[in-house]
Amino acid sequence: MGYEDTQLSERAKTAPETLTDGFHLLIDALKLNGIETVYNVPGIPITDLGRYAQAQDMRVISFRHEQHAGYAASVAGFLTKMPGVCMTVSAPGFMNGLTALANATTNCWPMILISGSSEREIVDLAQGDYEEMDQLAMAKPFCKAAYRLTYAQDIGIAVARAIRSAVSGRPGGVYLDIPGAMLGQIMDAEEGQKSLVKVIDPAPRQSPAPDAVARAIDVLKSAERPLIVLGKGAAYDQSDDAIRALVEKSGYPFLPMSMAKGLLPDTHPQCASAARSLVLKDADAVIMVGARINWLLSHGKGKQWGEPGGKRFIQIDVEAEEMDSNVEIAAPLVGHAGACAEALTAAMDGEDIAPPKAWLEQVREKAEGNMAKMASRLKNNNNPMDYHAALGVIKDAITDAPDTILVNEGANTLDLCRSIVNVHKPRHRIDVGTWGVMGIGMGAAIAAAIETGKQVLAVEGDSAFGFCGMEVETICRYNLPVCIVVFNNNGIYRGDGENWGTGDDPATTVFVKDARYDLMMQAFGGDGSTVTSPDELKQAILAAFESGRPTLINAAIDPAAGKESGNIGNLNPSSVVAQARYPQAQS
């Protein structure tokens, strides 16, 4: 190495154009594989990496905090089926990005966190380098795969490996550690070019075996009350036509999980969202498509699911290990959602799998009844405005502009928006995902705007927004068509909580009353307004869609309208002791 280094250093003085370096090889490797956008926060040792990437015509979106850059990268992964890339500085920046990497892995979204790091020889001897941390070891439990680069000549293969790890099989987060000095290593430009690797077929399509498909058909033949549940893995697969064909050919009612809403329009006649309790309880055969039977579905057990053992499951998932995770799977179909859906649809030909009419009628009747009940609540003119009235306006706005990408987080703001606001197109709803994480909203909104160029409407609880609110500056800086509606009920779940002790501190769940979140947007040159009625909200959203400008609408919501923890209050631990001590405690 020593001899070569001297030679290259000599050449660097006289003919630098014949050389390349770690910075440029990394950029070239990403671009060669179709990655054109990076979400980052600059600093040592990656500031110049971002500059050079921009100079090489990559889109480099700089955030105010790495967590949101990371969330943006993960959402880009969900929307595009290519890993979203986030770049961070060492130790604290890396750790800020790690939450997003873990969240991406939990959601099965492909993402690569590239982080600068300190020199290994100093880290390994714990000699106290600038922002020292053994990042590779730290990252491993939080992602699907983690790699470290030591030599610039390995960048090509490492980036290829990272991309393949992120998108193949069950997608997830990948960590790529780049010690600062590696970026500065130089090598012959031609050799460097040759060292790059273009990933061929990064996520090879997996199809189920014919006998597995036949087993699934057998389950359907004996089903009286079949149901299809669509999850965000199905939405991710981008095989929208195959999923639609499965649903429509079978004629079965379908239930979309929150981010699968829009895969088929929520207004589709077979959509059973408004009869959710009924279909979960009474179905006797359930086809799960890219949806885990996890806490979001009560683990497939309990009252919600009716008689124990009363159901047989067919599960379509790219991850074989997912089968039998919570309940017995009668017919596992391991493969990509589209490939499995196609195989299952084709195998239905000539088989008696049609759903009994009585079941379809029962579901339809229930759904229509529930929708009618809801419709009247959405048109109320209560003062102060409640969630239902405000969401009625949002529902109409999305129906009139179905290309809008809806981002949604909060507790009541999330649960009510999910059930009230219809989504009409695949991958047009992004929310808190499997963890129910707060603070994903601005990263998601920015990624949605950058990756699709579409109008984004982010419906945010005031607490949820607080986790990521500083990114309104990022939205203004890049002049993105993002309209944020903050459902401002003065707090977490409700704005009327009280201190249960004798002190003067506010309750743990309340914020400054009647805060003006709209002024935050104005501070950076965007449009902001406060609204207190459904009509004002409607006008403000229309104006934002019309202008396409960064907008924040501070929507005052009745502080007493929300429920503790929204729809999942039952998950709060409780004790008889606590209930005896605090009469205010909810049982």
Q: Least distance in Å: CB of 208 to ligand ADP?
A: 11
**3-class SS at 318?**
coil
Binding site for ligand TZD (CB under 6 A): 410-413, 436-439, 461-464, 487, 489, 492-493, 562, 566
**Closer CB to ligand TZD, 331 or 464, in the complex:** 464
Q: How far apart are CA 256 and CA 427, in angstroms?
A: 12
Are 440 and 65 in contact by the 8 Å Cβ rule? The answer is no
Task: Give the ranges where 257-386 is alpha helix by DSSP (H).
Answer: 276-282, 337-347, 357-378
Neighbours of 460 (CB within 10 A): 31
Q: Does 249 bind ligand ADP (CB under 6 A)?
A: no
For CA atoms 183, 185, 186, 190, the dihedral sign is negative
Taking CB under 6 A as the criterion, the residue among 319, 496, 536, 564 binding ligand ADP is: 319
Q: Does 461 bind Mg ion (CB under 5 A)?
A: yes
566 binds, among Mg ion, ligand ADP, ligand TZD, none (CB under 5 to 8 A by kind): ligand TZD
Q: Least distance in Å: CB of 292 to ligand ADP?
A: 3
Taking CB under 5 A as the criterion, the residue among 40, 489, 529, 554 binding Mg ion is: 489
Taking CB under 6 A as the criterion, the residue among 170, 215, 281, 454 binding ligand ADP is: 170
**Closer CB to ligand ADP, 131 or 431, in the complex:** 431
Q: Least distance in Å: CB of 280 to ligand ADP?
A: 13
Q: Does 462 bind Mg ion (CB under 5 A)?
A: yes
244 binds, among Mg ion, ligand TZD, ligand ADP, none (CB under 5 to 8 A by kind): none
Task: Kindly report the three-state secondary structure assignment for every residue of 287-329.
Answer: EEECCCCCHHHHHHCCHHHCCCCCCEEEEEECCHHHCCCCCCC
**Closer CB to ligand TZD, 156 or 461, in the complex:** 461
Helix axes 155-167, 22-32, angle to 10 degrees: 40
Q: Does 236 bind ligand ADP (CB under 6 A)?
A: yes
**Closer CB to ligand ADP, 435 or 582, in the complex:** 435
Taking CB under 6 A as the criterion, the residue among 336, 395, 418, 427 binding ligand ADP is: 336
186-188 and 19-21 beta bridge pairing: antiparallel
437 binds, among Mg ion, ligand TZD, ligand ADP, none (CB under 5 to 8 A by kind): ligand TZD
Under DSSP, the state recorded for 491 is B
Element (DSSP H or E) covering residue 49:
helix 47-55
263 binds, among ligand ADP, Mg ion, ligand TZD, none (CB under 5 to 8 A by kind): none
Would you give the end-to-end CA distance of the chain in angstroms?
A: 70
Taking CB under 6 A as the criterion, the residue among 69, 86, 257, 391 binding ligand ADP is: 257
The length of the chain in residues reads: 587
Count of residues interacting with ligand ADP (CB under 6 A):
24
Under DSSP, the state recorded for 45 is T
**What residue has token string 């020199």?**
119
Please give the order of strands across the beta sheet that includes 312-317.
254-256, 226-230, 285-289, 312-317, 331-334
User: How deeply is 200 buried, as exposed, middle or buried, from its count of CB atoms within 10 A (0-12, 13-18, 19+)?
Assistant: exposed
Residues that bind ligand ADP (CB under 6 A): 107-108, 170-171, 231-233, 236-237, 257, 259-260, 290-292, 294, 296, 317-319, 322, 336-337, 434
